[in-house]
């Protein structure tokens, strides 16, 4: 709601190191929090909100991951920029590290709640193009028909990519759709299938085709998991839904989604999908964006959005770690003595302690304690306490060995 003393800021946001220059001049409300500013910058610059971000102002960090900085949702723009000439740094994607300067150019007492792009120059680089240096190399390859990497550049950018192309009117249409008062014009969805459909519909015009397909794939996995495994979290029975000819997602709302998310990460992704680290990351990005979208439409409270976005970030981090361990297991070396073992067991085991070349393991669903089990040293370094492993263990004398590890599951939390 607009306050009587609402100020409006005019910001110049420039992607540092880009040649030719890439910048936007934006008008935003001064009480915009930094998490909201991140969302605005994603739309205005042309990013796809696929990676982590942070702001840095006066040496202090605001953003993801929250444990290494201040909460951007609790910090307003006016708290870090006060007078014309003040600036902060916005970093998007900690791998490619797209670094932007955000400078306050004007302060106005006119009341403008809707963010607006006043000026724009330069097309946004595509996601995951290697930072400013990698993007510049890609542009050089695109312009040189004899370049050895031209085919890759064409595949990534397209034959007719225009580095200077930028449409402020198109940006403003996207800003109005994302942040305008009528951004929820589709009405209030009542079941999860409606929520997923409307969410994807509004992302389609905002995202590149490649990223939209990743969002679509993540939602498909989440829908499949809910329909197959989330009945215990619902107040409606499977038989009643079957009689009505409905799936779970056609019969329940957002409360079941929140109850099921921990199982989605701890059970469905690693045990049913055998999801790769990249798949886990894509699901995390999509779900966090979905939760934000649901909050903007009052389908979740502000507290729920804040809490669950943080939880999903943590579950994604643990899920990616487990997926890396599982990928190592695909080529398990097997370190066992020759001959027949004295005892053989296949089971799920929990890592209780770690030392070089060995793990202390116990049975996940029973009371059996295997003690210290010999494993490859690099595998031991990858594991963490509390992780569950699907293992084949063999005992020779008093010593257990990991003959094979089939999969790894995230630490519960």
DSSP 33: B
Structure confidence by residue, pLDDT tens digits, 271-310: 999 999 999 999 999 999 999 999 888 888 889 999 999 9
Say if 17 falls within a structural domain. Answer: yes
Distances (CA, A) of 61 to 41, 71, 315, 357, 397: 17, 9, 22, 38, 54
Q: Are residues 397 and 283 in the same domain?
A: no
- Cα–Cα distance measured from residue 336 to residue 401, given in angstroms and rounded to the nearest whole number: 6
- The reported pLDDT for the residue numbered 155 is 57
**Residue 54's CATH number:** 3.10.290.30
Q: Are residues 325 and 350 in the same domain?
A: no
- Taking residues 234-255, what's their average pLDDT? 82
> What is the CB neighbour count within 10 angstroms for residue 104?
21
Structure confidence by residue, pLDDT tens digits, 355-401: 999 999 999 887 788 999 999 999 999 999 999 999 999 999 999 99
Q: Alpha helices, DSSP H only, in 244-366?
A: 248-251, 254-263, 277-296, 302-329
Q: Are residues 232 and 92 in the same domain?
A: no
Q: Are residues 79 and 211 in the same domain?
A: no
Q: Which residue has 């263990």 as its token pair? A: 393
Please indicate, yes or no, whether the overall pTM of this predicted structure exceeds 0.75: no
What pairing do the DSSP bridges indicate for beta strands 53-57 and 60-63? antiparallel
Q: Categorize the per-residue pLDDT at 15 as very low, low, confident or very high, splitting at 50, 70 and 90.
A: very high
Q: Are residues 71 and 202 in the same domain?
A: no
Phi, psi for residue 43 in degrees, rounded to 5: -70, -45
Domain total of the chain:
3
Cβ distance 100 to 45 under 8 Å?
A: yes
Name the token pair of 141. 């390859």
- Cα–Cα distance measured from residue 297 to residue 276, given in angstroms and rounded to the nearest whole number: 32
Say if 271 falls within a structural domain. Answer: yes
**Three-class SS state of 152:** helix
Quote the domain boundaries for residue 15.
Answer: 8-124+166-179
Say if 258 falls within a structural domain. Answer: yes
Name the token pair of 146. 């004899």
Say if 335 falls within a structural domain. Answer: no
- The reported pLDDT for the residue numbered 307 is 94
Peptide bond into 65 cis (omega under 30): yes
**Residue 365's CATH number:** 2.40.50
Q: Are residues 379 and 357 in the same domain?
A: yes
Q: What would the DSSP string read from start to end of 182-222?
A: TTTTT----SHHHHHHHHHHHHHTTS-HHHHHHHHHHHHHH
DSSP 233: G
Distances (CA, A) of 219 to 68, 177, 196: 29, 21, 7
Q: Are residues 64 and 170 in the same domain?
A: yes
């Amino acid at each position: 709601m607009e306050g009587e003393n609402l100020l409006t800021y005019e910001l110049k946001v420039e992607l540092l190191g880009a040649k030719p220059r890439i910048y936007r001049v934006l008008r935003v409300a001064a009480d915009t929090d930094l998490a909201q500013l991140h969302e605005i910058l994603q739309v205005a610059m042309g990013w796809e909100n696929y990676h982590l971000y942070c702001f840095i102002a006066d040496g202090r960090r605001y953003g993801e991951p929250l444990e290494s900085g201040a909460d951007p949702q609790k910090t307003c723009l006016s708290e870090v920029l006060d007078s014309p000439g003040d600036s902060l740094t916005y970093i998007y994607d900690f791998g490619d590290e797209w670094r932007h300067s955000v400078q306050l150019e004007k302060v106005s007492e006119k009341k403008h709640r809707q963010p607006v792009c006043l000026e724009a120059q330069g097309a946004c680089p595509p996601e995951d193009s290697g930072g400013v240096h990698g993007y510049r190399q890609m542009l050089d390859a695109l312009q040189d028909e004899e370049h050895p990497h031209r085919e890759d550049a064409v595949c990534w950018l397209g034959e007719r990519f225009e580095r200077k192309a930028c449409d402020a009117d198109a940006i403003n249409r996207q800003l109005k759709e994302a942040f305008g008062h009528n951004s929820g014009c589709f009405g209030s969805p009542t079941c999860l299938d409606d929520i997923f459909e409307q969410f994807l519909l509004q992302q389609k015009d905002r995202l590149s085709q490649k990223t939209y397909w990743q969002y679509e794939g993540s939602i498909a996995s989440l829908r499949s998991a809910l329909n197959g495994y989330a009945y215990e979290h619902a107040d409606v029975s499977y038989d009643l839904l079957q009689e009505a000819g409905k799936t779970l997602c056609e019969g329940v709302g957002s409360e079941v989604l929140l109850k099921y998310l921990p199982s989605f990460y701890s059970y469905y992704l690693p045990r049913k999908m055998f999801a790769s680290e990249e798949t886990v990351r894509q699901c995390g990005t999509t779900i966090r964006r979905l939760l934000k979208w649901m909050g903007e439409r009052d389908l979740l409270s502000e507290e729920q959005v804040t809490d669950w976005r943080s939880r999903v970030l943590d579950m994604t981090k643990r899920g990616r770690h487990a997926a890396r361990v599982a990928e190592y297991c695909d080529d398990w070396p097997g370190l066992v003595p020759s001959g027949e073992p004295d005892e053989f067991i296949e089971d799920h085991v929990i890592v209780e302690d770690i030392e070089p070349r060995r793990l202390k393991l116990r049975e996940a669903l029973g009371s059996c304690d295997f003690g210290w089990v010999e494993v490859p040293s690099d595998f031991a370094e990858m594991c963490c306490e509390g992780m569950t492993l699907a293992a084949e263990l063999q005992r020779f004398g008093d010593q257990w060995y990991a003959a094979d590890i089939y999969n790894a599951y995230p630490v519960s939390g």
